[in-house]
Every structure is written in structure tokens, then in C-alpha cells.
Amino acid sequence: MATPCWRTAGSLEGSLGKPDAISESLVWATPYILGGLAVSLAFKAGLFNIGAEGQIAVGALTAVFVGYAVVLPWPLHLLAAVAAGVLGGAAWGFIPGALKARTGAHEVITTIMLNYVAIQVTSWLLSGPMKDPSPLVVVAQTPKVPESAWLPVLVEPYRLHAGFLLALLAAVAVWLLLTRTTVGFAIATVGANPNAARYAGISVAQTMVLTMSLAGGLAGLAGTGEVLGLNRYHTPGFSVGYGFDAIAVALLGRSHPLGLIPAALLFGALRSGATRMQFLSQIPIDVISIIQALILIFVAAPEIVRWLYRLRAPREETRPQLAAHWAEGG
Amino acid sequence: MPIEVVVGMLAIAGSRATPLVLGALSGVKSERAGVVNIAIEGTMLAGTFAGFLIGVYTGSLLLAVIGAVLVGALMALLNAVLSIRFLVDQIISGTVISILAVGVTGYCNRQLFMTGAPPGQAVLPPIRLPGLADLPVLGRILFEHKAITFAAMLLVITVHVVLFHAAWGLRLRAVGEHPLVAETVGLSVFRMRYTAVVLAGMLAGLGGAYFTLGSVPHFEPLMTNGRGFIALAAMIFGKWTPLGSWGAALLFGVAEALPVTLQIQGINVPFQLVGLLPYVLTIVVLPGLIARAHPPAAIGVPYVKR
């Protein structure tokens, strides 16, 4: 089906056309960067973090709780709420990490289960114990977070908030961690070959627990940014699908902490552009998922491009196989 | 709880477990041949929509089920071509399938059904197996279900027998454990893997059909709602065996049936908390109950002929 080029204009205009459109793209990219980091970091240690979804949800929950229930002056309150969000996510990542390290329970099962637990607990808390007590509020949502715990908006009057800067900082921090520190070396070694790591005196168990906790913390920060930077309250279901998109971002960025920034920006632009495209040209928003899938195929499969253009394969190619870790220690 | 309530709950559990059983079997089939199957969710979703679409336009439930199975096979074929022919990382190809299924089903649903009232269609009628269904207790739990649920039970046994008591299953497992050796003794690793992945897709497609043909007569975007991943968990829980996966899937079926039952009984507890009990239970029990599972040795590694 051929689409006239003017019809796709809505997408470009919606994602890159005007300052507010750029702002929206970056707003979308923020949780993608952090979620992508959470998935990538775990990949580096040979772990499958399918649990970014749950870690984002719990991070949002703990951050918003400290946000509305605690009274503190501005910088302290924000710091406390962000710390709570990161710790909440980290705790949710620690559980599968510790279970894997101590008992060998497959992290794919435990993270999926924890996603469901997080979603259900959120749904219960927001419609019960954490619900806004105001009689005017009938839907399940928390009270508003006071301004003292807001992640500040970067450029008025747009929605882009400081969470985006935190995401960029986090990416650089993860990159430094992996390339410049012994902890990062341990993570990469465990990911490359757990047995070799063991012989080299690296504690595989400790490294796994630490990696999953850090990954959870990053995802928790993603949830924190959404509640303290965007809505300033919490409703169930706002982050549905972020964890899955995060996996796609991590794959597109080849699990490189800096490489996934452009991947997250691309997905962010696609997502924010999709809304406008649907409005302007009646192209359903779902097309974006199809485009995402095609991008992934062509990025991940140099073989296809070579086959299409009849190119010869380079003599030696190192091909990172994420899937080969599937069975390790399961 | 009175016994009828428990029996009723287990009957619901058996029904709700159907897509999980089929999804888990799909995983077993593919992964035993050495191909990671995280495409279950997407394949299922495609089957769900295909079943609905064909059911609406042809009015035939049989054609709808067959269509769902064939579309499942088609999705799996794409997965196979990507991961076996083009050596795409199997995690990536599975993710591609899942994203693609969300996009394609969402797009078609919006284009075809979003204007005006969603068309309804019939769902499969429950079948009472004569004689067996009248057994006390067991009759209602095991022998009074939709055809897809009976098919799932039969398929569990079939896959078990084929995998562990037939030459073809031995070959399949050889390809998943040590493809080079399998190739050396004259098996075609490529052909075995293609076959296994496509069969796996058919199982997942059938599982998807449960949602629109066995459960409710309409389609919603993202209707499978993570069931494919729960099925994957059931497969790992069941140590990559059909029977073990069945047991695990039934456990998750109980998880889904419990809140429904409590609601019917008018017992007032937060349904979200009851609903998550079995998931928590899995996390708590899994490490103690199950020793380290042994997945197929060559899983996740694309085979390159030398």
C-alpha cells in the first residue's frame, strides 16, 4: 500500500516540526532511555530483565508516595522523592537478582511474575489506601504532589522536564560504570562467561544481585520522572507497555548505554509523532508499531540487507548473541 | 468453601489455562529444537485476531479456528526465516514478532471494526463428553469444556509422546542439544528447526483462538494481555516438558479463576490482591520446589553450516 508522502507529514511535524513537538518527543524518549538502560545493563551481565515494566511501576509508586505524603522544603523534598523512586525500583530489581543468585530461579519467570504483582498492587493501592481522599476525585489516582517535589520544567511553557537530563546523566553514568570501573568489568565478565568470572575471583552471585538492583533503580527513575515531571500524580496504567518498548530500545541500541540514546530518541519521536499523524491524516497510531518492528528487523539483520543487495559477508564478524544467554543458570 | 464452589473454580481454571497450556507447548516445541520462543505472545495475538476476523466474515467457527492456526504458522514462519535463515538473534526476532502483531492487529482492528458497533459472533459451545461428564467432581472439572480446551489436553499428551517416545522427537531434541552432531548423523538441522518453529506457531495460534472463539465474542487490542509470557513462564516452570508445563499452566489458571470465583460468591476482598497470590506463590515456591532446570544445550545459538 503506497502512502503519499504528504500523508506522513503529520508524523514529522508532530515529532520534529515545532518546539512543542520536539519537547513531546523528548518527553517520550525519557522513560525509553532509562528503561532501555535497565534492560541493557542486565543484558551486559547475561540477564534478561523483562521486569522493567514492574520496576517502573514500583518506582512511580514510591516516588509519588514520598511526593504527596511527606512535607519538606523544595530541594530536599524533590531529592527524597527521587531517591524513593530509585530505591523502589531497585528493590523490585533486587528480588529477581537475589533469587537467581541464591537459588537459580530463572529471572524471566520471576520478573514477569513481579510485573503482574506490581501492576495489581498499584491498581489496589491507587483505588484504596493511596487514593485521593477528596470527594471530587472519583477515579483511581493519588493526591497531587506539591510543587516542592516537582521535577522542574526545562523550558516554559513546554512539558519537557528535568527527568530528561537525569536520563542523559544516567546513560553517561552507566557507560562510565561499564567501561571505567572494576564493577563494570565484573558485570561484563559475568555476562561473557560466568565460569571464567568465577575463576578470576569475581563473585557471580553478588554481581548478578548488584546488576539487577542497579537496573531496577534505573527503571525506577523512569517511573519517578513520569510522576514527578509530567502528571504530578499517579494513575494506574500510565506506564503500560514501557517495559516492552524498553526492550526494543535496548535491542536497537545494541545494549550500548550511549547507543541507546538515539534509539530512544527515535522511538520517542515516532510515538509522539504518531498522535499528530493520526489526527492529521487518519493513519492509525498502530502503524508506528509496524515501523518499529521493521526498523528492528533491518538493524538486527545485516544478513537481510546483504541478501537484498547481493553483498558478500565480511570475513569475520562478531555477532553478540543475547539469546545464547537464555539457558544460563536457568 | 463448599465443595461445589471449589469444583466450579477448578472448572474455570481448566478453561482459563487453555491458552497458557497451548502457549507453553508452543515454547516446548520450539525451544527443544534450540530456538528461543519469546514470540508466543505476538503469535497468540495474531491468532486471536485472525480467529475473530474469519469468524465474523465466514460465520464458520471451524474455519475461524483453522485460520487462527494458519496465521500462527505464518507468524512463526517469519520468526523462523529471520532467526534461522538470516541469523537474527532469536530474542530480537521474537520481539519483532510481538511488536509486529500488536501493530498489525491494532491497525486492522481500527480499519475494519472501529466504525460503528463491533460485530458480534458466536463462540464455541461447551461440550459435555458423554458418560465422563457425569462423573462426580471430576466430570465438571475435566470433561465439560470448549473444544479448544479438549484439544489442548490431547495436544499435551501428543507432544509428550512425540517428543519422548518417537524417533522424530529424539531427532528434534538432538537438534536442540547438539546440532553439529545431529547434522553429522545425517539430520537436517535447518529443516528440523523450521518444522519445529512452524508447528510451535500453530500451537500458539490455536491458543490465541481461545480468546475470541472460546471465551468472549469480540476482539480488543492487546487482548492476550501478557498471557504469552505467562505461558513462557509456565514452560520454564515445567522444565521444558509438556506435562510439567501443563501443571504450571493449570496453577496459573487457578490464579485467574480465584478472583472470579470470589466475586461470584460475593466475598468482598480486594480482587487485585487475591489475583496476585499465585504469582507471589510462584516466586516463593519456585526456588525451593524446583532444582535447577536443564534447558536444551544449544538453545539461542543460530546454526551455521560449515
Span A99-152, pLDDT tens digits: 999 888 878 778 888 998 998 899 889 988 888 888 888 788 889 999 999 999
Is A245 buried (19+), middle (13-18) or exposed (0-12) by CB count in 10 A? buried
Say how many domains are in chain A: 1
Is the model more confident about A14 or about A65?
A65
Is residue A13 scored above 70 in pLDDT? Answer: no
Residue B145 forms beta bridges with which residues? B127
Closest approach of B47 to chain A, Cα-based (Å): 17
Q: Domains in chain B, ordered, with CATH?
A: 3-116+139-289 (1.10.3470.10)
CB A123: neighbour CB atoms within 10 A?
20
Backbone angles phi, psi at A11, to 5 degrees: -65, -50
Query: Over the stretch A15-66, which tens digit does the pLDDT of each residue have?
Result: 666 788 889 999 999 999 999 999 999 999 999 898 999 999 999 999 999 9
Q: If you search the block for the grid coordinates 537459580, which residue do you land on? A: A104
Query: B100–A300: do the CB atoms touch at under 8 Å?
Result: no
* Residue A200 within a domain: yes
A326 pLDDT tier (thresholds 50, 70, 90)? low
Amino acid in the structure at residue B302:
P
Taking CB atoms and an 8 Å cutoff, what residues of chain B touch A108?
232-233, 236
Asked casually if ipTM beats, i.e. exceeds, 0.85, the reply is no
Q: pTM of this prediction?
A: 0.83
Does the residue A324 lie in any domain?
no
Instruction: Say whether A286 and B82 touch across the interface (CB within 8 A).
Output: no
Residues B33, B159: Cα–Cα separation, whole Å: 13
DSSP-assigned states of every residue in A142-208: PPPPPGGGPPPBSSTTS--BTHHHHHHHHHHHHHHHHHHSHHHHHHHHHHH-HHHHHHTT--HHHHH
> What is the average pLDDT across B78-98?
88
* Residue of B268 and A204 predicted with greater confidence: A204
Tell me the C-alpha distance between B99 and A100, whole Å.
Answer: 28
**Chain B neighbors of A95, CB-CB under 8 A:** 283
Cross-chain residue pair A326–B280, CB shorter than 8 Å: no
* Average pLDDT over all residues of chain B: 87
Is A207 part of a structural domain of the chain?
yes
- The answer to the question of residue A293 being in a domain is no
A306 in a domain, yes or no? no
HSE-up (13 A, CA, CB side) for residue B83: 37
CATH number at residue A135: 1.10.3470
| pLDDT tens for each residue of B238-290 | 889 999 999 999 988 988 888 888 888 887 777 778 777 767 877 877 765 55
Closest by Cβ to B276, choosing from A95, A116, A244: A116
CB contact under 8 A, B233 and A112: yes
pLDDT of residue B105: 93
Determine, for residues B300 and A248 on separate chains, whether the beta-carbon distance falls below 8 Å: no
Residues whose CB is less than 8 angstroms from the CB of residue B28 and which lie 6 or more positions away in sequence, other chains included: B159, B163, B235, B238, B240, B241, B242, B245
Return the number of other C-beta atoms located less than 10 Å from residue B305's C-beta. 9
Q: What's the domain range around A34?
A: 16-283
Q: Does A318 reside within a domain? A: no
Which residues 258-277 of B are in CB contact (within 8 Å) with A? Answer: 270, 272-273, 275-276
Total number of residues shown for chain B: 306
